A and B are shown apart, each in its own frame.
Chain A
């Protein structure tokens, strides 16, 4: 295992629901990331947190709301999602953000289905 855990592993929600995805890293890293992986598309970086501050927000719709209460935990709050938001959501962490040599370590992902 990589030291990055995600819950839940699977989630089905209606378009009017509110849910949250959770990520936890046990590696002592300072940077955490949310990615979206859709079929037939490259991985899309959604958000980056470094030392609990958001440093990247890649034009993600406001129905996705990240939260990083401490350097070990990252949440993605979901509300009024659309069916096209169905995807695998991956969390990753790295020692620091800003060094181009840094390796990112990924969690197993949450498979989200929006009905």
Chain B
């Protein structure tokens, strides 16, 4: 079965500093990995996805994520955090060999402090 873990409930970072939001996954086949962001009172917004190819994926709003097969990780990164990046971030996975639907992680709340 497929699963996703986001080991940190909360990440705090100062504005201008680099940020990392962690995600690890477990699948039986090749993974298809996604990041979404949720601002207060809003739905989820797509940030980026990894399907195949380059391990470094670039997405919206200056975010990028690095796929690491050996560590089964897909951490979200940004070189310089903005206060407006404060939100709830979700990692999601589909398993190439299992089912059609997303499995979402529990979410990580990012707070960027001015």
Pairing of A with B: yes
A-side residues, CB < 8 A to B, are 2, 4, 6, 40-43, 45, 48, 56, 90-92, 97-98, 100-101, 103-109, 111
A103 touches B44 (CB 8 A): no
Do A100 and B106 touch across chains, with their CB atoms under 8 A apart?
A: no
Q: Which chain A residues border B51 with CB–CB below 8 Å?
A: 101
Which residues on the A side are within 8 Å of B102 (C-beta)? Answer: 43, 45, 104
Asked whether A108 and B94 contact (CB < 8 A) given A42-B106, A97-B100, A101-B51, the answer is: no
B17 in the interface, Cβ–Cβ < 8 Å? no
Bound complex: CA A105 to CA B43 (Å): 9
> Residue of A at shortest CB range from B49?
A103
| Contact between B43 and A107, CB atoms less than 8 A apart | yes
Which of the listed residues A6, A90, A100, A104 has the most CB atoms from chain B within 10 Å of its own CB? A100
Which residues from chain A contact B105 at a C-beta distance below 8 Å?
42
Closest to A31 in B: B100
Q: Is the CB of A100 within 8 A of B94?
A: yes
Which residues on B sit within 8 Å (CB–CB) of A91? 43
A18 to chain B, nearest CB (A): 25
* Interface flag for B96 (CB, 8 Å): yes
Q: Which residues of B contact A2 (CB under 8 A)?
A: 43, 45-46
Interface residues of B (CB under 8 A from A): 32, 34, 36, 41-46, 49, 51, 90, 94-96, 100-107
- 28 A-B pairs with C-beta separation under 8 A: A6-B43, A41-B106, A42-B104, A42-B106, A42-B107, A43-B102, A45-B102, A48-B100, A56-B100, A90-B44, A92-B44, A100-B32, A100-B94, A100-B95, A100-B96, A101-B51, A103-B34, A104-B46, A104-B102, A105-B46, A106-B43, A106-B44, A106-B45, A107-B43, A108-B41, A109-B41, A109-B42, A109-B43
A56 to B42, CA, bound (A): 25
> B95 to chain A: which residues have CB within 8 Å?
100
Pair B46/A98 contact, Cβ less than 8 Å: no
* Minimum distance in angstroms from B30 CB to a CB of chain A: 9
- The complex places the Cα of A42 from the Cα of B102 at a distance, in Å, of 11
